[in-house]
């Protein structure tokens, strides 16, 4: 299991263990867990706590790694909090190869830079897209869609019998 000097906080939610580790030691924590049998990275994601006033968080962005031990029914969630503009954390693609794509997705949607990633580029949004759509401060609104006058008239005209 992870050494106590790596664990900031720990607990159990819905029978799943979770630990919070310092962002600069996330690679050490995940390497240790992989050695201990947690060989499957189930998912990697981010939570933006920008406006969450119900609880104080040590950083705006919470990077979440869900791991599974395939030999016994055990899961563990590893959390690390980061700040910055852009926010940064070390890549773990060499420890868990599937993280390559999930780090790219997290970069694309939240703007988190994964240091040491071999090709951190957009994966879901177009290359020329401005901003990161899953950030809580991303402007929300509809896109103006232009229709022809003929379409507008057809939509508002009463049906003929």
What are the structure tokens assigned to 66, written together? 């869900």
pLDDT in tens, 85-100: 999 999 999 999 999 9
Residue 32 lies in a domain: yes
What are the structure tokens assigned to 116, written together? 């040491």
∠ at Cα 148 (143, 154), nearest 5°? 110
Residue 144 lies in a domain: yes
DSSP result, 30-67: HHHHHHTT--EEEEEEEEE-TT-TTS--SSSEEEEEEE
Contact indicator for 146, 152 with CB cutoff of 8 Å: no
Residue range of the domain that includes 123:
4-156
- Residue by residue, pLDDT tens for the chain (161 residues) are 777 788 999 999 888 899 999 999 999 999 999 999 999 999 999 999 997 666 788 899 999 999 999 998 889 999 999 999 999 999 999 999 999 999 999 999 999 999 999 999 999 999 999 999 999 988 877 666 666 555 555 555 555 55
Residue 161 lies in a domain: no
Q: How many Cβ atoms are within 10 Å of 15's Cβ, its own excluded?
A: 8
Residue 94 lies in a domain: yes
**What pLDDT does 55 receive?**
75
**What pLDDT does 86 receive?**
94
Domain count, the chain: 1
Q: How buried is 156 (Cβ within 10 angstroms: 0-12 exposed, 13-18 middle, 19+ buried)?
A: exposed
Residue 38 lies in a domain: yes
CATH of the domain at 139: 3.30.460.80
Residue 76 lies in a domain: yes
Residue 139 lies in a domain: yes
Residue 132 lies in a domain: yes
d(CA 27, CA 29): 5
What are the structure tokens assigned to 8, written together? 């900031």
């Amino acid at each position: 299991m992870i050494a106590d000097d790596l664990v900031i906080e720990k607990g159990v939610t819905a029978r799943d263990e979770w630990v919070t580790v310092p962002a600069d030691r996330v690679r050490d924590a995940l390497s240790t867990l992989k050695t201990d049998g947690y060989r499957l990275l189930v998912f990697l994601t981010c939570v933006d706590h920008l406006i969450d006033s119900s609880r104080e968080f040590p950083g705006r962005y919470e990077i979440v790694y869900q791991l599974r031990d395939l030999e016994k029914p055990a899961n563990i969630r590893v959390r690390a909090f980061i700040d910055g503009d852009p926010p940064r954390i070390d890549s773990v693609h060499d420890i868990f190869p599937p993280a390559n794509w999930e780090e790219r997705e997290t970069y694309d949607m939240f703007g988190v830079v994964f240091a040491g990633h071999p090709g951190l580029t957009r994966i879901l949004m177009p290359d020329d897209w401005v901003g990161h759509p899953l950030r809580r401060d991303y402007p929300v609104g509809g896109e103006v869609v232009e229709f022809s006058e003929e379409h507008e008239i057809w939509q508002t005209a009463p049906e003929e019998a």
